[in-house]
A and B are shown apart, each in its own frame.
Chain A
Amino acid sequence: MTLSVSLTHRLGQFDLDVSFEAPAGLTVLFGQSGSGKTTVINAVAGLLKAQAGRIALDDWVLEDSAQRLWLPPHRRKLGYIFQESRLFPHFTVRQNLRYASWFARRDGPGESLSRVVEMLGIGHLLDRRPALLSGGEKQRVAIGRALLAAPRLILADEPLAALDEARKAEIMPYFERLRDEVAVPILYVSHSPAEVVRLATTVVALQNGRVARVGSPAEVFGDPTIAPAGVRGIGAVLEARVVARHADGLSELAAGAARLFLAGVDLAPGKPLRVRIAAHDVMLSLQRPEGVSALNILSGHVEAVRLGDGPAAIISVQTSAGRLLSHVTQRSVAALGLKPGVACHAIIKTLAIASRGGNGTATTQFQAMT
């Protein structure tokens, strides 16, 4: 199933004009606050009536301003997971879950309560009221409630933003399971690169109410011409595979034609994983660096130079492992004479495991590789 969205909406100074498709899997609407992410997801949910546009799931039309067609939210067959969970305070957890399946009953048998309860590990919470749950528990119940609505489309609006790091790590695997085990498309709003890189199959980067780029995480985050989360969020994403585990605890990864070394990878050889290299963790050198502690040094050539508004510049470097981004100063760009085609070496200070293929039990880890 594919969700196609095309919307225009004007609200005061804010002007939204977007068009994109979300295929099966998890599509992240990514951008800074004010980029229009929440407006888009609420329009898809029918909680906000866009001035013009068309939203359809395959050939099932949810709204089409040309046909004056607009389905109210309760007829859109959604499962919406909100940032603040929005559990009904006067119901127990079990009643919250049943509420969803009760309205979904005419669509035939959906997920069974017991399966959802087991998948989310909320069996011991069933008789409690939401007020007595922790933030992470509330969000797991909210996921369950959305699933039990027998949705044709799952929406999630920054579902992890209100949680601390430990709770985020607790909830993320459930979204990985949703992505891998549930057949319906998931539209997920986020401004966190770490979440996007780990969860997304498709990224729709929004900037000032426009779609800046649609693609895989590697394509969107490796594109130096857009800075979807500002300069700090920029970084390359590489698809890699474990090649070998060495006696000193380091794992050897193959990324493109290059080899990377990383500690703390507890995966067997052959397993795929996704690594993220933030632009501010990559240094550039014209000569092959000697006598530095960094293990991961890749040679390549400058592909593009993008000067920012301030003293910063983003250099994209094509290496044998794929495209890397480096965050340097404009002074260094001038001093080294960096321009497209110049050969250089990228010194990677830190690699992060963004997600592990296969099982959904990974936690994000950061390993300094010096």
Chain B
Amino acid sequence: MEWLGPEEWQAVALSLRVSFWATLAGLPLGVFVAYALARWSFPGKQILNGIVHLPLILPPVVTGYLLLLTFGTRGPVGSLLQEIGIVFAFRWTGAALAAGVMSFPLMVRAIRLSIEAVDPKLEQAAATLGASRMWVFVSITLPLILPGIIAGAILAFAKAMGEFGATITFVSNIPGETQTLPTAIYAFLQVPGGEGSAMRLVLVSVVVAMSALFLSEILARRIARRVAGI
């Protein structure tokens, strides 16, 4: 990548790393929450649903500030985690947390839709054949919702790549540590003569977003075909 300067390349690499971990760490929780919302009825279900969707509705700055209050070094959760050596504030891990929280609703929605499309009668049939709930999930539900999980993951990844407001509020804009693609574009646009760098990063953003979309389409279609047995 000769045409990207070291600072630009740093931002791209960091963004990819942040989005990758945000998506990977969010997936197990995303599948769990989506399953709970799709299949279980429990008190407080609507509240959970609200909390999951909150980052979609709140101004990202608010989400970032709430993260800072909670996970900052003096926040209730942040100070606890600091004692066991996990620090989010002003680190790339914090950028990943912010990106993960912001992209979580999109991931859960996609996975929840795919779970709702699985006929519970198939899961019942598996249970009558001797499969415990865990086995039913692993052998029947999970393979059938794989297209939804992949679509949700790719959507979340793309959203994480573009996350700006919550990230800059929570972990600031430190080159090499928390300066992701969007915050780098923003920073380049603030200095005279930075338009060239900004333009190149904009191009990278467009390419990454489009590839993610195409990839998710292709994968989802291929797996949907396999699952439907055609």
With both beta carbons as reference points, the residue of chain A lying nearest to B146 in the complex is identified as A90
Contacts of B126 in A (CB 8 A): 88, 99
Query: Chain A nearest CB: distance from B6 CB in Å?
Result: 47
B125 near A129: Cβ-Cβ < 8 Å = no
Per-residue interface assignment for chain A, residues 77 to 109, with 1 indicating a CB less than 8 Å from any chain B CB and 0 otherwise:
111101010101110000000011001100000
A79 and B132 alpha carbons, distance in the complex (Å)? 15
A149 near B228: Cβ-Cβ < 8 Å = no
A130 and B227 alpha carbons, distance in the complex (Å)? 11
- Kindly state whether residue A264 has any CB partner on chain B within 8 Å: no
A132 and B124 alpha carbons, distance in the complex (Å)? 22
- Kindly state whether residue A74 has any CB partner on chain B within 8 Å: yes
B130 near A149: Cβ-Cβ < 8 Å = yes
- Kindly state whether residue A69 has any CB partner on chain B within 8 Å: no
- Kindly state whether residue B36 has any CB partner on chain A within 8 Å: no
Q: Which of B125, B130, B228 contacts A104 (CB 8 A)?
A: B130
Q: Which of A47, A77, A79, A129 contacts B124 (CB 8 A)?
A: A47
Q: Which of B125, B127, B140 contacts A72 (CB 8 A)?
A: B127
A75 and B228 alpha carbons, distance in the complex (Å)? 29
A74 near B229: Cβ-Cβ < 8 Å = no
Contacts of A218 in B (CB 8 A): none
B227 near A89: Cβ-Cβ < 8 Å = yes
Q: A82-B121, A84-B121, A99-B139 given as contacts; is B128 within 8 A of A73 (CB)?
A: yes
- Kindly state whether residue B129 has any CB partner on chain A within 8 Å: yes
Q: Which residues of chain B from 65 to 84 have any CB-CB distance to chain A below 8 Å in the complex?
A: none
A-B contact count (CB 8 A): 78
Question: How many chain-B residues does the 8 Å CB contact rule pick out?
Answer: 23
Query: Chain B nearest CB: distance from A260 CB in Å?
Result: 43
Q: Which of A45, A90, A100 contacts B144 (CB 8 A)?
A: A90
- Kindly state whether residue B230 has any CB partner on chain A within 8 Å: yes
Q: A90-B144, A100-B130 given as contacts; is B124 within 8 A of A73 (CB)?
A: yes
Per-residue interface assignment for chain A, residues 122 to 133, with 1 indicating a CB less than 8 Å from any chain B CB and 0 otherwise:
000000011110
Query: Chain A nearest CB: distance from B145 CB in Å?
Result: 11
Query: Chain A nearest CB: distance from B112 CB in Å?
Result: 20
Query: Chain A nearest CB: distance from B127 CB in Å?
Result: 4
B230 near A131: Cβ-Cβ < 8 Å = yes
- Kindly state whether residue B226 has any CB partner on chain A within 8 Å: yes
With both beta carbons as reference points, the residue of chain B lying nearest to A142 in the complex is identified as B125
A75 and B135 alpha carbons, distance in the complex (Å)? 13
- Kindly state whether residue B143 has any CB partner on chain A within 8 Å: yes
With both beta carbons as reference points, the residue of chain A lying nearest to B125 in the complex is identified as A86
- Kindly state whether residue A54 has any CB partner on chain B within 8 Å: no
Query: Chain A nearest CB: distance from B73 CB in Å?
Result: 47
- Kindly state whether residue B174 has any CB partner on chain A within 8 Å: no
- Kindly state whether residue B51 has any CB partner on chain A within 8 Å: no
A90 and B132 alpha carbons, distance in the complex (Å)? 19
Q: A84-B121, A90-B143 given as contacts; is B228 within 8 A of A78 (CB)?
A: no
Q: Which residues of chain B from 136 to 160 have any CB-CB distance to chain A below 8 Å in the complex?
A: 136, 139-140, 143-144
Contacts of B128 in A (CB 8 A): 45-47, 73-74, 76, 78-80, 149, 155
- Kindly state whether residue A145 has any CB partner on chain B within 8 Å: yes
Q: Which of B132, B133, B229 contacts A132 (CB 8 A)?
A: B229
Contacts of A131 in B (CB 8 A): 228-230
Contacts of B132 in A (CB 8 A): 72, 74
Q: A73-B124, A99-B139 given as contacts; is B130 within 8 A of A89 (CB)?
A: no
A129 and B135 alpha carbons, distance in the complex (Å)? 21
A86 near B230: Cβ-Cβ < 8 Å = no
A103 near B130: Cβ-Cβ < 8 Å = yes
Scoring B122, B126, B129, B144 by chain A CB atoms within 10 A of each residue's CB, the highest score goes to B129
Contacts of A82 in B (CB 8 A): 121, 125
Scoring A46, A88, A145, A149 by chain B CB atoms within 10 A of each residue's CB, the highest score goes to A88
A79 and B143 alpha carbons, distance in the complex (Å)? 23
A103 and B135 alpha carbons, distance in the complex (Å)? 10
Query: Chain B nearest CB: distance from A86 CB in Å?
Result: 4
Query: Chain B nearest CB: distance from A77 CB in Å?
Result: 7
- Kindly state whether residue B131 has any CB partner on chain A within 8 Å: yes
Q: A84-B121, A86-B122, A90-B144 given as contacts; is B129 within 8 A of A99 (CB)?
A: yes
B127 near A130: Cβ-Cβ < 8 Å = no
Query: Chain B nearest CB: distance from A89 CB in Å?
Result: 5
A145 near B129: Cβ-Cβ < 8 Å = yes
With both beta carbons as reference points, the residue of chain A lying nearest to B227 in the complex is identified as A90
A73 and B227 alpha carbons, distance in the complex (Å)? 25
Shortest Cβ-Cβ A-B pairs, 6 listed = A103-B130, A129-B229, A131-B229, A86-B125, A80-B128, A73-B127
Residue contacts A-B, CB under 8 angstroms, 28 given: A46-B127, A46-B128, A72-B127, A72-B132, A74-B128, A74-B132, A74-B135, A74-B136, A76-B128, A78-B129, A80-B129, A82-B121, A86-B124, A89-B227, A89-B228, A90-B226, A90-B227, A99-B129, A99-B131, A100-B130, A103-B130, A103-B131, A103-B135, A130-B229, A131-B229, A131-B230, A149-B129, A149-B130
A residues contacting B by CB (< 8 A) are 45-47, 72-80, 82, 84, 86, 88-90, 99-100, 103-104, 129-132, 145-146, 149, 155
A47-B127, A72-B132, A99-B129 are known contacts; what are 20 more A-B pairs with Cβ within 8 Å? A45-B128, A46-B127, A73-B124, A74-B127, A74-B129, A74-B136, A78-B129, A79-B128, A80-B129, A84-B121, A86-B121, A89-B122, A89-B228, A90-B226, A90-B227, A99-B131, A100-B130, A103-B130, A130-B229, A149-B128
